[in-house]
Amino acid sequence: MTAPTLDLTAVAPIGFVAIGALVVLLAEVVLSRRKTLLGRPVTDVWIGAVLAMIASGFLALALYASAHAFWADTSAVFQLERPMLRLDRLAAFVTALVAVASLLVCVLSVTYLAEVRINHGEYYALLLLATSGMMLLAGSTDLITLFLGLELMSIPIYVLAGFDRRRLRSNESALKYFLVGSFASAILLYGMALLYGTTGHTDFDGIRAAFPAGNPLALTGFGLLLVGFAFKISSVPFHQWTPDVYEGAPISVTTYMAVTVKVAAFGALLRTLTVAFGPFAGELTGLLWVLAALTMLVGNVMAVIQDNLKRLLAYSSIAHAGYVLVGLVAGTPEGHAAVLFYLLVYVFMNLGAFAALVALANRGRDCERIDDLAGLARSRPALAGLLTLFLLALAGMPGTGGFIAKFMVFKAAVGAGYVGLAILGVLTSVVSVYYYLRIPVAMYMSEPGEAALREESSSGERLVLAVCAVVVLLLGIFPGAGPGLLAHVRALEWARQSVALLY
Amino acid sequence: MIELNTHLLSVVTFLPLATALGLLLVHRLPESAWRGISLASTTVTFLLSVHLFLGFDPAKAGFQFVEYAAWLPSYGIHYFVGVDGISLLLVLLTTFLMPLVLLASWTDITRSVKGFVFFNLFLETGMLGAFVSLNVFQFYLFWEIMLIPMYFIIGIWGGPRRVYAAIKFFLFTMFGSLLMLVAVLVLYLLFFEQYGVLSFDLVPPPSAVGPALLDTAVPLAGEAVWWKTQTWLFLAFALAFGIKVPIVPFHTWLPDAHVEAPTAGSVILAGVLLKMGTYGFVRFALPLFPEASFQFAPLAFGLGLVGILYGALVAMVQSDIKKLVAYSSVAHLGFVMIGMFAFNEEGLEGSVLQMVNHGLSTGALFLLVGMLYERRHTRQIADLGGIARPMPVFAAFFGIVTMSSIGLPALNGFVGEFLILLGTFLVSPGVAVAATFGVVLAAAYMLWMYRRVMFGPVESPENRSLIDLGLREKAILVTILIPIFWIGLYPKTFLRRLDGPVNELVDRLERHGATTARATAAPPLAAFLAPPAGRPEEAGR
Amino acid sequence: MVPLEHVIGLSAILFGIGTVGALTRRNLIVILMSIELMLNAVNLAFVGFSRAWGSLDGQIFVLMVITVAAAEVAVGLGIVIALFRNRESINVEDVSLLRW
Amino acid sequence: MVGAETSLLRWIVFLPVLAAAVHGVMLGLLRREAPRAFVVGLSCGAVGLAFVLACVSLGRLLTLPGEAGFLADEVWSWIGAGRFHAELGFRMDALSAVMTLVVTGVGFLIHVYSVGYMAEDHRDDGGFQRFFCYLNLFTCAMLLLVLGDNLLVLFLGWEGVGLCSYLLIGFWYGDRWNAYCGSKAFIVNRIGDFGFLVGIFLLVWALRDVGVGSIAFHEIEAGFGALAERTVRLPDWLGFLPGAPEWRLATLIGLCLFLGACGKSAQIPLYTWLPDAMAGPTPVSALIHAATMVTAGVYMVCRLSFVYEAGPGAAATVAWTGGVTALLAATIALAQTDIKKVLAYSTVSQLGYMFVAAGCGAYGAAIFHLGTHAFFKALLFLGSGAVILAMHHEQDTDRMGGLRRRLPHTHLVFLVGVLAIAGFPPLSGFFSKDEILLSAWLAHDVPGHQALWALGLVTAALTAFYMFRLHFRTFAGASRVPEEVRNHVHEPSQVVRVPLYVLAAFSAVAGLAGLPQVYGDALGVSDSNSLAHFLAPVLAAEAHHVSHAVELGLAGLAVAAASLGTLLAWWLYVHRPGLPARLRAGLGALFRLVRDKFYVDEIYDALLVRPLVIASDRVLFRGVDAGLIDAVGVDGTARAVRALAARVLKHAHSGLAQGYLFVMLLGTLAVVGWLVR
Amino acid sequence: MSEAVFFYFFAFLAVASALGMVLNLRNTVAAAMSLVVTMVALGAIYVLLEAHLIAVIQIMVYAGAIVVLFLFVVMLLNLRQDAFPPPRQRVVKGLGVLLAAAVCVAFLGALPGTLPDAAVTPEGFGGYREVGRVLFTDFVLPFEVTSLLLLAAMVGSVVLAKRSLD
Searching chain A, which residue's CA lies closest to the CA of residue D656?
Answer: A176
The distance of A426 to chain B (nearest Cα, Å) reads 6
In this prediction, the residues of chain A whose per-residue pLDDT falls under 70 are 1-5
> Are A434 and D638 a contacting pair at CB < 8 A?
yes
Can you state the angle between helices D363-390 and D494-509, rounded to 10 degrees? 150
Q: Do chains C and B touch (3 or more CB pairs under 8 A)?
A: no
Say what the pLDDT of residue B513 is. 67
> Are E131 and C70 a contacting pair at CB < 8 A?
no
Say what the pLDDT of residue B1 is. 46
Name which of B174, B182, B185 is nearest A433 (Cβ-Cβ).
B174
Do the beta carbons of residue D379 and residue D493 sit within 8 Å? no
Burial class (CB in 10 A: 0-12, 13-18, 19+), A462: middle
Say what the pLDDT of residue D600 is. 84
Do the beta carbons of residue C89 and residue A173 sit within 8 Å? no
Q: Which of E88, E89, E92, E98 to mutate to test the interface with D (most CBs of D within 10 A)?
A: E92
Task: Provide the β-strand partners of residue A36.
Answer: A41
Distances (CA, A) of D134 to B404, D34, D91, D131, D163: 17, 15, 24, 5, 9
Do the beta carbons of residue D389 and residue D307 sit within 8 Å? no
Read off the pLDDT of residues D307-357 as tens digits, 9 standing for 90 and up: 888 888 888 889 999 999 999 999 898 888 888 888 999 999 999 989 998
Ordered DSSP codes for B386-427: -TTTT-HHHHHHHHHHHHHHTT-TTSHHHHHHHHHHHHHHHH
D649: Cβ contacts below 8 Å, ≥ 6 apart: A298, A301, A302
Contact partners for chain D, using 3 or more CB pairs closer than 8 A, are A, B, C, E
Distances (CA, A) of A414 to A480, B215, B304, D57: 21, 20, 32, 73
A242 neighbourhood in chain D, CB within 8 Å: none
Searching chain C, which residue's CA lies closest to the CA of residue A186?
Answer: C39
Distances (CA, A) of D54 to D60, D114, D141, D507: 10, 22, 15, 21
Say what the pLDDT of residue B541 is. 32
A195 neighbourhood in chain E, CB within 8 Å: none
Say what the pLDDT of residue C73 is. 92
State mean pLDDT over B72-97. 91
Q: Give the model's confidence band at B533: pLDDT under 50 very low, under 70 low, under 90 confident, else very high.
A: very low
- Lowest mean pLDDT segment, chosen from A15-19, A201-205, B49-53, D507-511: D507-511
As for the ipTM of the complex, it is: 0.91
Read off the pLDDT of residues E24-53 as tens digits, 9 standing for 90 and up: 777 888 888 999 999 999 999 999 888 999
Question: Where in A35-163 does DSSP place strands (E)?
Answer: 36-37, 40-41, 76-77, 86-87
Say what the pLDDT of residue E162 is. 78
- Positive or negative: CA dihedral B170, B175, B180, B181: positive
Q: Which of residues 626-665 of D touch A (CB under 8 A)?
A: 638, 641-642, 644-646, 649-650, 652-653, 655, 657, 659-661, 663-664
> Are A144 and E159 a contacting pair at CB < 8 A?
no
Say what the pLDDT of residue D390 is. 83
The distance of D674 to chain E (nearest Cα, Å) reads 14
D620 in contact with chain B, both atoms CB, cutoff 8 A? yes
Q: Do chains D and C touch (3 or more CB pairs under 8 A)?
A: yes
Do the beta carbons of residue B360 and residue B484 sit within 8 Å? yes
Ordered DSSP codes for A271-327: HIIIIISTTTGGGGHHHHHHHHHHHHHHHHHHHHT--BHHHHHHHHHHHHHHHHHHH
Read off the pLDDT of residues C74-90 as tens digits, 9 standing for 90 and up: 999 999 988 888 888 88
E64 neighbourhood in chain C, CB within 8 Å: none
pLDDT of B2 over the 60 cut = no
Name which of D650, D658, D661 is nearest C100 (Cβ-Cβ).
D650
> Are B495 and D191 a contacting pair at CB < 8 A?
no
> CA-to-CA distance for A463 and A254, rounded, in angstroms?
19
> Are D206 and B532 a contacting pair at CB < 8 A?
yes
Contact partners for chain A, using 3 or more CB pairs closer than 8 A, are B, C, D, E
Say what the pLDDT of residue D123 is. 65
A132 neighbourhood in chain E, CB within 8 Å: 148
pTM over 0.90: yes
> Are C23 and E76 a contacting pair at CB < 8 A?
no
Say what the pLDDT of residue A301 is. 94
pLDDT by residue for chain E (166 residues), tens only, comes to: 688 888 999 999 999 999 998 887 778 888 889 999 999 999 999 998 889 999 999 998 888 888 888 888 888 887 665 567 777 777 777 887 888 888 888 888 888 777 777 777 777 788 888 888 888 888 889 999 999 999 999 999 988 887 665 5
State mean pLDDT over C2-7. 86
Name which of D206, D208, D616 is nearest B316 (Cβ-Cβ).
D616
B176 in contact with chain A, both atoms CB, cutoff 8 A? no
C83 in contact with chain D, both atoms CB, cutoff 8 A? no
Searching chain A, which residue's CA lies closest to the CA of residue B168?
Answer: A434
Name which of A173, A189, A193 is nearest C49 (Cβ-Cβ).
A193
Q: Which of E22, E84, E89, E98 to mutate to test the interface with D (most CBs of D within 10 A)?
A: E89
Name which of C10, C53, C93 is nearest E119 (Cβ-Cβ).
C53
Contact partners for chain E, using 3 or more CB pairs closer than 8 A, are A, C, D
Distances (CA, A) of B92 to B55, B499, D659: 13, 17, 62
- Lowest mean pLDDT segment, chosen from A134-138, B387-391, D239-243, D497-501: D239-243
Q: Give the model's confidence band at D668: pLDDT under 50 very low, under 70 low, under 90 confident, else very high.
A: very high
Ordered DSSP codes for D249-272: HHHHHHHHHHHHHHHHTT-TTSTT
Number of Cβ within 10 Å of residue B320's Cβ equals: 17
State mean pLDDT over D164-182. 88
pLDDT of D40 over the 50 cut = yes
Instruction: Name all contacts of B51-55 with Cβ < 8 Å and 24+ positions apart.
Output: B51/B8, B52/B8, B52/B9, B52/B12, B52/B83, B52/B88, B52/B91, B52/B92, B53/B88, B53/B92, B55/B5, B55/B8
> Are E21 and C34 a contacting pair at CB < 8 A?
yes
Ordered DSSP codes for B430-455: HHHHHHHHHHHHHHHHHHHHHHHHHS
Say what the pLDDT of residue B142 is. 93
Residue type at D224 in one-letter notation: F
Say what the pLDDT of residue D125 is. 64
Read off the pLDDT of residues D251-283 as tens digits, 9 standing for 90 and up: 888 999 999 999 998 898 888 888 888 888 888
Report the first-to-last Cα separation within chain B, whole angstroms.
Answer: 46
> Are D666 and E93 a contacting pair at CB < 8 A?
no
pLDDT of D2 over the 70 cut = no
> CA-to-CA distance for B299 and B285, rounded, in angstroms?
14
> Are D665 and E89 a contacting pair at CB < 8 A?
no
D634 in contact with chain B, both atoms CB, cutoff 8 A? yes
> CA-to-CA distance for D310 and D203, rounded, in angstroms?
13
Distance of CA D261 to the CA centre of its chain: 7
Say what the pLDDT of residue D611 is. 87
Q: Are strands D71-81 and D84-92 parallel, antiparallel or unpaired?
A: antiparallel
